Amino acid sequence: MVGFFLYLEMQSEVDFLGCLSHPNLVKLLGYCLEDRELLLVYEFMPRGSLENHLFRSGSSATDTLSWDLRLKITIDAAKGLAFLHTSEKQVIYRDFKASNILLDGSYNAKISDFGLAKLGPSGGCSHVSTRIMGTQGYAAPEYIATGHLYVKSDVYGFGVVLLEMISGLRALDNNRPREKINLIDWAKPLLRKKKGLKLVMDARIEGQYSSKAATLAAKLTLHCLEPNPKKRPSMKEVVEVLEKINAMK
């Protein structure tokens, strides 16, 4: 059964990446057969995943991703999602997380792993009903509760990654104090207050951004994490706000 689902995920990768092309989506180059195992071949992304850079153990202020690089990567990833949501056949990515964002040699970000992607709603429907899959901590609450998948469900996942970017902390971490295990539960109340925001922001990038930029990033994060999907922004709107933050030098 596991092998069957892996085959379906590979088929999904081929179906989507075979007909979608965008600078912020990883390129599928082909496939090969190795020891009777079918493998997909992607373009080489030398800097690996965002997850490896953001949560590298023992990283200090000198070797962590700077504020400017975090913004660049976030904007790239947002543009990739915006493209999927506005393509002719609307695509819901469904598994947006730091490990699925890959970086090339110049830190250009590209979304990878389309194994769980779904075509968006059609025939006047607002959602797609599907089996609940994805990664704990990133999936939108309405999807977990009902199995109803909206385009705005991706926006929630983006909000989780945005929170990880500004805090330098994983969405879920059992090694943290009990009240901080779930990053969203701990951080959301703090993001609404200036003093609280200082507790959330990654200390390794202190002094690299203006308070106005941090406040706007916090507001955008909260907007993306709205419990009601209808209240979340579109990814196009997210890109516009991120570029506004990026202009605040």
So which residues are the catalytic ones?
95
Supply 248's token pair.
């605040």
- Contact between 98 and 73 (Cβ < 8 Å): no
* Residue pointed to by tokens 């930029």: 213
Question: Residue 97: CA atoms inside 13 Å, Cβ hemisphere, count?
Answer: 20
* Residue pointed to by tokens 């915006």: 82
Exposed/middle/buried for 93, CB within 10 Å: 0-12, 13-18, 19+? buried
Torsion of CA 165, 156, 218, 206, to 10 degrees: -10
